[in-house]
Structure 1
Amino acid sequence: MGLNAGALRRVGVTVAQIWKDSDVSLEPLKGRKVAIIGYGSQGRAWALNIRDSGVDVVVGLRPGGKSWELATKDGFEPKPIPEAAKEGDVIAMLIPDMAQPEIYEKYVEPNLHEGNALVFAHGFNIHYGLIKPPKNVDVIMVAPKSPGPKVREAFLSGRGVPALVAVHQDYTGKAWDLVLALAKALGCTRAGVIKTTFKEETESDLIGEQTVLVGGLMELLKKGFENLVELGYQPEVAYFEAINEAKLIMDLIWQYGFYGMLLRVSDTAKYGGLTVGPKVIDEHVKENMKKASERVISGEFAKEWVEEYKKGMPTLKELMEKVKEHQAEKVGKELRKLMGLEE
């Protein structure tokens, strides 16, 4: 199982099922062709890593676009999506979530064969029923917990990024062997892959994005910036204190955990943070998080997002523009230029 599972159990931590590199084999991929549908952030990393692991890869794209040119430069001979899907024994859907149902219905489903495997990097479309595969194929997921470029970067450095793995449909009886082989080919088993379900991966991912990683974190930083400016402090100073330094703290948490981070900041920061933080991010905030989580679990958010997408995403465009025009973004852009972080 790896990752010091025994030690974790001894201190009362529930341990998920985890596989490491030595636990799995590439054998299930031998003699099989992996069709990568899409060549964006994840698609490019998947295609390159899997090819470098010695597996036969074909890339399926819409002809004539930038992705087609990039895949060609990377040494692939891309093919139109229907052709790639027809050739592939294992078809990885790595285009954006909202584009997947239409592409699947038009180009992938008609070219599926009995015993094929459909692979996803996120469970959204399967979990919410937007894609309904036939019963005679395996449906599996490898969800790297990192953007595609980092998946590739880690692979090239001899490391890997962790991933979640799941089987939604095991027609062949060998779906788990296949999903673990794919995770190994991606380099993810070098770090460790965790067994999950499409439901758990989808819902936890959406809840995490909305309440913490994108929504919650950005709103916390914005409100912190606004508070300092409204108190009369210079916007540039406010940006450094409330936003820029957040990365430094997150880096410490990423590397050392909460307690390890606290050991590396001043006693004043420790005392102030531990006594005031819970008064700012209190149980009321947690209740709001639970309400947002309930909308994900019930499917209400998915329904809203699908309708928004079909309308051309007017609400999203409006909200993006508001972020772009926020004072923190304008001040930050200038400061990032000064620091050489942005052109």
Structure 2
Amino acid sequence: MKVYLDADTDPGLIRARRVAVIGYGNQGRAQALNLRDSGVSVTVALPADSRRREKAADEGFDVMTSAEAAAGADLIVLLAADEDHGRIYAQEIEPNLRQGAALQFAHGLSIRFGLIAPRADLDVLLVAPKGPGTALRADYLAGSGLISLFAVAQDASGGAEALALSYAAAIGSGRVGILPTSFAEECEADLFNEQAVLWGAIPELIHAGFETLVAEGFSPEIAYFECLTEVKLLADLIYARGIAGMREAISNTAEFGALQGGRRIVTEETRAEMRRILAEVRAGAFTEKLLADARAGYPRLRASRADAASHPIEDVGRKLRNLKA
């Protein structure tokens, strides 16, 4: 796989564009700030009643509605919630976006599953930083960046790939690496990871370990340290060394424990369930459930948040984190 760096990009391409960032949340704020610091003309689009309008204005951006921003933009970067993309595009962006402009995403879901059907005259791009906006901004300010994936779904101008690379470099990714993908690959792999590994499985594993120890009479504080705090150590070691290198950095006792326990937890049944999750993602079943929950006012998400907030591990965590204050 070719890895693109700053030297492979033309910064003048994105600087010649009028960019409208739709949304000012985790990714929207970071990308807008990084773009501006790289010499790009940026406006921010938010609903008239958004609580984030004041923050964006205080940080020096012209703030307008998506319809107003689309009318004055050459490149629309859609960083609002995925489930709202279809409405925003159909009602506010498409009627106002000039011929030959470009539409960009940080996640492939809306194109992969047809939430948006872009006009034929538009370039359709993907630039997906592989990390949260807070890290994207912090790394940029530190002179580094986050790796980004990029893809082109529609190349009406003949220059869509070069524009995507220019944008990725402007948010800092050209300092470390910009990797090619497709909308489908990025979307499907990301949705799978969110459910089967990162945000789905790991927190559930932490809860289960904590509950097991506490139920057997261990103190909640010790259970917290063992099952949650040390996850950071693991993540840092894997990030720095890889999984094999991580094993070289831990004790023989810990490594032998991994040998004894790992495949008793992640069994063939677990792997089969992972394959079922991936099949559901590819078939669009997950996206249908996401949209249905959004239309109903997010009852499942709200219940899940409340359940997580009420778990005993949260009280223990607050007490232990306060010890550092």
Q: TM-score, normalised by structure 1?
A: 0.92
Aligned amino acid, residue 264 of structure 1 = A
2:95 to 110, 116, 120: 110
Pairing 1:301–2:286 present? yes
Does 322-331 or 112-121 show the bigger shift?
322-331
- Per the TM alignment, residue 237 of structure 1 is displaced from its structure 2 partner at its CA by 0.9
User: Residue 168 of structure 2 corresponds to which residue in structure 1?
Assistant: 183
2:42 to 57, 71, 92: 57
1:270 to 248, 255, 270: 255
Indicate conservation of the 8 Å contact 2:83/2:290, yes or no: no
User: Residue 325 of structure 1 corresponds to which residue in structure 2?
Assistant: 310
Deviations 1:26-81 (A, max 9, x none): 12224321111111111111111111111211222223533221122111222222
User: Residue 150 of structure 1 corresponds to which residue in structure 2?
Assistant: 135
Name the CA distance, whole Å, in 2 between partners of 1:304 and 1:216.
19
Aligned amino acid, residue 128 of structure 2 = A
User: Residue 316 of structure 1 corresponds to which residue in structure 2?
Assistant: 301
User: Residue 194 of structure 2 corresponds to which residue in structure 1?
Assistant: 209
SS at the partner of 2:19? strand
SS at the partner of 1:57? strand
Name the CA distance, whole Å, in 1 between partners of 2:188 and 2:16.
35
Pairing 1:100–2:61 present? no
Indicate conservation of the 8 Å contact 1:113/1:137, yes or no: no
Q: Which runs of 5+ in 2 are unaligned?
A: none
Deviations 1:248-284 (A, max 9, x none): 1111111111122112211111111123212222222
Aligned amino acid, residue 249 of structure 1 = L
Pairing 1:20–2:1 present? no
- Per the TM alignment, residue 134 of structure 1 is displaced from its structure 2 partner at its CA by 0.7
User: Residue 221 of structure 1 corresponds to which residue in structure 2?
Assistant: 206
Percent sequence identity is 42
Pairing 1:69–2:36 present? no
Name the CA distance, whole Å, in 1 between partners of 2:23 and 2:126.
16
Pairing 1:126–2:115 present? no
Deviations 1:298-331 (A, max 9, x none): 1111111111111111122122222112222222
Name the CA distance, whole Å, in 1 between partners of 2:30 and 2:309.
29
SS at the partner of 2:43? strand
Pairing 1:231–2:219 present? no
2:150 to 155, 165, 179: 165
Deviations 1:138-171 (A, max 9, x none): 0001000111121111111110100110101011
Q: Which runs of 5+ in 1 are unaligned?
A: 1-15
User: Residue 47 of structure 1 corresponds to which residue in structure 2?
Assistant: 32
Does 61-70 or 211-220 show the bigger shift?
61-70
- Per the TM alignment, residue 337 of structure 1 is displaced from its structure 2 partner at its CA by 2.1
Deviations 1:163-189 (A, max 9, x none): 110101011111001000000111111
- Per the TM alignment, residue 230 of structure 1 is displaced from its structure 2 partner at its CA by 2.0
Pairing 1:253–2:258 present? no
SS at the partner of 2:197? helix
User: Residue 229 of structure 2 corresponds to which residue in structure 1?
Assistant: 244
Q: TM-score, normalised by structure 2?
A: 0.96
User: Residue 181 of structure 2 corresponds to which residue in structure 1?
Assistant: 196
SS at the partner of 2:151? strand
Name the CA distance, whole Å, in 2 between partners of 1:48 and 1:324.
32
Name the CA distance, whole Å, in 1 between partners of 2:158 and 2:292.
37
Does 247-256 or 195-204 show the bigger shift?
247-256
User: Residue 18 of structure 2 corresponds to which residue in structure 1?
Assistant: 33
Pairing 1:335–2:320 present? yes
Superposed CA RMSD in Å reads 1.3
